[in-house]
Structure 1
Amino acid sequence: MVPRWCPQARSGQATSRVHLGHCRLIQRFTATGRVQERRRPGRPKKTTPREDRLIERLALQTRTASSSIIRRQLRVATNTNISQQTIRNRLHGFNLRSRCPAVRPRLTPAHRAAHRAFCRRHVRWTRQQWSQVLFSDESRFTLNHNNDRLRVWRRQGERYIDATVQEKVAFGGGSVMVWGAFSLHHRTPLFHVQGNMTGLRYQDEILRQLAVPTLQQMGPQAVYQDDNARPHRARVVNDFQQQSGVNRMEWPACSPDLNPIENLWDELDRKVRSNHPPPRDVQHLYQMLQAEWKALPQRIFTTLVNSMRTRCVECQNSQGGYTHY
């Protein structure tokens, strides 16, 4: 018998999932005298809840362990023999998936301490203060982009047909090294770095001709940011910056995720790769980089500058470690 308040007894009204659940419980209790569900038919699990937790713990202890290694460790610990697919199914139940690891520079305790100190000094900087920083860096772009994460759809026996083979060229088929800098309202021209960069070249070709004029346009409160590469910290460069009145920001080593220009290089690379036809040679690649650099919209620079406070907060929360940037 269905109770009068049960939604099944009310025709023409919207039913509630909660009320339907209550009705099922009452009907089950009326028919069987208990509210527990009957044992469902089907193949029982080959692992116990304790073994499932052990599988999760083994995966978390060694994040790089494969399903075959975890299977072998489980068999040694509990004498349970299950397939690798079962191992993966149990890990999926704990919301663990096999993914490619993020690539970041190695951080020593000294690096982490320097990151924390930098973030403590700048975490309360305002948007106006960050807008006075000229972020700079060099980046290398290759003519042929080798994407190791590319996936293709293929049938059995189609592994080596032209449509499913990713062709690679040694050393990317040639590359272009460029230097650039930007602030909230300014950007320098993109400079083609040819040959080895020395301290004297960095002073004459980049600082004197590009960085210093841009800093003068930004005003007396402008701050120059560059990384700790050897040419950037050469004695002639330090002397020139002091003579020119360049206010240089102290920058922690091995901190690309704190520098927003790294995200700008990724955006520039995507813009170039989306062009059809692709660049023919190195000179054509540099011309496309110049065109795309000039065409970058202002909203990208605004977003990157505004993200500096979040970067500092996230770096502090990770104790000077890695961030998602």
Structure 2
Amino acid sequence: MFPSKQRELTSEERIEIVVLHQQKNSLRKIAALVRRPLSTVADTVKRYKNTNSVANLKRSGRPRKINNSDSRYLKLCSIRSRRKTLSVITEEFNIGHKISASRSVVNRALHSWGMLGRVACRKPLLSPRNIKTQLLFAKEHVKWKKKQWAKVLFTDESKFDLFGSKRRTYVRRFKNERFESNCLIPTVKHGGGNVMIWGGICVNGVTRLKRIEGIMDKKVYHSILVHRALPEGKKLLGKGFVFQEDNDPKHSSLFCRNYLASKEKSGDVVRMVWPPQSPDLNPIESMWDYVDTRLNKTERNSQDKMWLNLEATWNSIPKKILRKYIYSMKNRCKAVIHAKGGHTSY
């Protein structure tokens, strides 16, 4: 009697069959000795004669639902419209083909081309002029040395919400912990309030943060230039430091431009001409994310506590972190050149 439940032969059993066959035993005798069907013994001996091996041959597996041509068609459909959902792509494919493919089949076909569903990054809209200007800036500054970037004060404003964050936030969790409280980003209607700040960074340290109350217009920004940006930039980097700012309308107002022009004429500062719509180039944008991830989340129940939290986190930024981001300017410029003036991963 053979075992009632059929199972695949082990390597040891196959070797035993081959050895018994080489010892001139008949197939029927071998089947009785190893307690296996005659057909199984015959197949094992035949496989060994043909392949000189007792290992299983490669199995063909289940036939594919769609062929290579269908797979290329799905790839083309996805490339033509990157925002189509998997359900829409599957539906459109099934309408035009005799076979009916499931979402999982279509998904596997797209994955085989390396086309994966991902969250779209949010980046500023770039006009052809913006792309040209950004590329020109990158080409002009890609050869700057560290000592040149060490003379630059990078400045910017940012808004921090009391609840949640507009910046992408990652958590590490197990599969069934999606809605655990410590894995969520709490939200409230209308944002729950926020704190607007201005700050500057350089290799020698940070400026004092400026809390902006109300609307920041050209007069408020002019006051920041007079009482905060230029005096603290000079203190950190010395006379004739390079001042960077983006092209926000209040920054580019005639009122503020004339003031900076007068200071530039007297040799107090050198204004860096910055390309519009280019946060990828600005290291202080990365610094805001750095600050946001290190804020004390328990101190967000009021704007005043949030401000103290921001100020403490800002003043504790190590110089090595500042230098890491500022000295990344060379790589940022290279990335812009590689992208031909377009968006980068920064």
Distance 1:149 1:88, change over 3 A: farther
> Would the aligned equivalents of 2:163 and 2:191 in 1 still touch at CA under 8 Å?
yes
Kindly provide the CA deviation profile for residues 171-192 of structure 1, in whole angstroms up to 9, marking residues without a partner as x.
Answer: 2211000000011113110000
Following the alignment from structure 1 to structure 2, what is the Cα–Cα distance between the partners of residues 105 and 202? 23
Kindly provide the CA deviation profile for residues 234-280 of structure 1, in whole angstroms up to 9, marking residues without a partner as x.
Answer: 112112112223311111111111100000000101111xx253322
Distance 1:110 1:298, change over 3 A: same
Structure 1 or 2, whichever has the larger Rg, is 2
Following the alignment from structure 2 to structure 1, what is the Cα–Cα distance between the partners of residues 251 and 46? 77
Matches within 5 A, 1:200-239: 200-204=219-223, 206-217=224-235, 218-239=237-258
SS in 2 for 1:181: strand
Distance 1:131 1:165, change over 3 A: closer
Please report how far the alpha carbon of residue 44 of structure 1 lies from its aligned counterpart in structure 2 after TM superposition. 1.5
For structure 2, the residue ranges without an aligned partner over 5 or more in a row are 1-44
Following the alignment from structure 1 to structure 2, what is the Cα–Cα distance between the partners of residues 288 and 150? 21
1:249 to 258, 268, 272: 272
Percent identity, aligned pairs only? Answer: 29
Answer with 126-135 or 85-94: which moved more: 85-94
Amino acid at match of 1:299: K
Matches within 5 A, 1:1-325: 31-32=49-50, 40=59, 42-145=61-164, 167-204=186-223, 206-217=224-235, 218-245=237-264, 246-272=269-295, 275=296, 277-325=298-346
Following the alignment from structure 2 to structure 1, what is the Cα–Cα distance between the partners of residues 183 and 152? 46
Please report how far the alpha carbon of residue 318 of structure 1 lies from its aligned counterpart in structure 2 after TM superposition. 0.6
Following the alignment from structure 1 to structure 2, what is the Cα–Cα distance between the partners of residues 133 and 150? 31
SS in 2 for 1:139: strand
Question: How high is the TM-score relative to the length of structure 1?
Answer: 0.81
Please report how far the alpha carbon of residue 33 of structure 1 lies from its aligned counterpart in structure 2 after TM superposition. 6.9
> Would the aligned equivalents of 1:188 and 1:211 in 2 still touch at CA under 8 Å?
yes
Please report how far the alpha carbon of residue 159 of structure 1 lies from its aligned counterpart in structure 2 after TM superposition. 10
Following the alignment from structure 1 to structure 2, what is the Cα–Cα distance between the partners of residues 264 and 99? 25
> Would the aligned equivalents of 2:158 and 2:196 in 1 still touch at CA under 8 Å?
yes
Distance 1:135 1:164, change over 3 A: closer
> Would the aligned equivalents of 1:140 and 1:177 in 2 still touch at CA under 8 Å?
yes
Following the alignment from structure 1 to structure 2, what is the Cα–Cα distance between the partners of residues 196 and 175? 12
Following the alignment from structure 1 to structure 2, what is the Cα–Cα distance between the partners of residues 192 and 132? 25
> Would the aligned equivalents of 2:198 and 2:210 in 1 still touch at CA under 8 Å?
yes
For structure 1, the residue ranges without an aligned partner over 5 or more in a row are 1-26
Kindly provide the CA deviation profile for residues 38-75 of structure 1, in whole angstroms up to 9, marking residues without a partner as x.
Answer: 57264321111221222222222221121222223323
Amino acid at match of 1:262: E
Question: How high is the TM-score relative to the length of structure 2?
Answer: 0.77
Following the alignment from structure 1 to structure 2, what is the Cα–Cα distance between the partners of residues 138 and 46? 54
Amino acid at match of 1:118: F
Distance 1:233 1:160, change over 3 A: closer
> Would the aligned equivalents of 1:180 and 1:188 in 2 still touch at CA under 8 Å?
yes
> Would the aligned equivalents of 1:28 and 1:34 in 2 still touch at CA under 8 Å?
no
Distance 1:146 1:53, change over 3 A: same
Following the alignment from structure 2 to structure 1, what is the Cα–Cα distance between the partners of residues 87 and 243? 51
Kindly provide the CA deviation profile for residues 198-217 of structure 1, in whole angstroms up to 9, marking residues without a partner as x.
Answer: 2222112x111111112322
Please report how far the alpha carbon of residue 162 of structure 1 lies from its aligned counterpart in structure 2 after TM superposition. 7.9
Following the alignment from structure 2 to structure 1, what is the Cα–Cα distance between the partners of residues 103 and 197? 47
Distance 1:102 1:161, change over 3 A: closer
Distance 1:46 1:223, change over 3 A: same
